[in-house]
């Protein structure tokens, strides 16, 4: 068994980083995996969505970087409203907010503080590359734009919202472009991350794949 695995478990600070683009299944998979392992789950995307929500609610123009940074610095991340941060309004604006370097510095500090002295499963777009580059296990989830758009459409339909599939695909493709090309912590797969294409797989199948990888760590 690897020494870093032993040390992490004993200290209660093992980090599993799950990265990937919008709609790849990160949040659901990370939450279930954390439950199975008895680890704490941290949805880092929710942090950026909450800052975006607070800025929108306060009437802060998304073009005013300094004002948004101040919003982030005064945001209480223990009060995240899950229903509010999943609206189309927030989804359409979060890339612009999360691309601001000052916002990312503030949020990353909060994420590291939340993860301190805990075995955690943390998911986002820069967890393995920026937030926890020394994570013991890194997973990079992918899926086709079409597959991710179908998932998003089903999620919206479950909340009573109807949006054309083509429009959702266009938004996801644009989100991918923004996340991959931004200067601050762009979305990318690190060389030591295990890539899993979730297209055509159930949530349970993806979780089983990650659990198998995790269990292999214990016997190497």
Q: What is the pLDDT along the chain (220 residues), one digit of tens a residue?
A: 344 554 555 456 799 999 999 889 999 999 999 999 999 999 988 999 999 999 999 999 999 999 999 999 999 999 999 999 988 899 889 989 998 999 999 999 999 998 888 899 999 989 999 999 999 999 999 999 999 999 999 988 998 888 899 999 999 999 899 889 888 888 999 999 999 999 999 999 999 999 999 998 865 5
* 70-78: Cβ within 8 A, 24+ apart: 72/102, 72/103, 72/106, 72/107, 73/106, 75/50, 75/51, 77/47, 77/50, 77/110, 77/114
Please give the pLDDT value at position 5: 53
Please give the pLDDT value at position 204: 95
What CATH number has the domain bearing residue 175?
3.40.50.300
Please give the pLDDT value at position 183: 83
Burial class (CB in 10 A: 0-12, 13-18, 19+), 3: exposed
Task: Count up the domains in the chain and report the number.
Answer: 1
Under 8 Å CB-to-CB from 171, ≥6 apart: which residues?
91, 92
Please give the pLDDT value at position 150: 94
- Per the structure, the complete domain to which residue 105 belongs is given by 3-217
- 169 sits in the region (left: phi over 0; alpha: psi -120 to 50; else beta) called alpha
C-alpha 216/C-alpha 30 separation (Å) is 18
Under 8 Å CB-to-CB from 220, ≥6 apart: which residues?
1, 2
CA-based R_g, the chain, Å: 17
Tell which residue, 106, 137, 102, has the closest CA to residue 123. 137
**pTM score > 0.85 for this model?**
no
Please give the pLDDT value at position 8: 57
């Amino acid at each position: 068994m690897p020494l870093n695995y032993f040390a992490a478990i004993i200290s209660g600070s093992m980090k599993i980083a799950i990265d990937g683009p919008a709609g790849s299944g990160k949040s659901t998979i990370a939450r279930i995996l954390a439950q199975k392992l008895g680890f704490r789950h941290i949805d880092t995307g929710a942090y950026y969505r909450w800052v975006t929500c607070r800025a929108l609610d306060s009437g802060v123009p998304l073009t005013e970087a300094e004002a948004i940074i101040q919003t982030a610095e005064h945001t209480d991340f223990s009060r995240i409203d899950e229903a509010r941060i999943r609206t189309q309004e927030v989804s359409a604006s979060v890339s612009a907010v999360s691309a601001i370097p000052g916002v990312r510095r503030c949020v990353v500090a909060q994420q590291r503080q939340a993860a301190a002295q805990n075995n955690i499963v943390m998911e986002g777009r820069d967890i393995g590359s920026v937030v926890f580059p020394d994570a013991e296990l890194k997973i990079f989830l992918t899926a086709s734009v079409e597959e991710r758009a179908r998932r998003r459409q089903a999620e919206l339909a479950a909340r009573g919202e109807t949006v054309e599939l083509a429009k959702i695909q266009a938004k996801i493709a644009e989100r991918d472009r923004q996340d991959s090309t931004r200067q601050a912590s762009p979305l990318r797969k690190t060389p030591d991350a295990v890539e899993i294409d979730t297209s055509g797989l159930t949530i349970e199948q993806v979780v089983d794949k990650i659990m198998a990888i995790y269990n292999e760590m214990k016997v190497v």
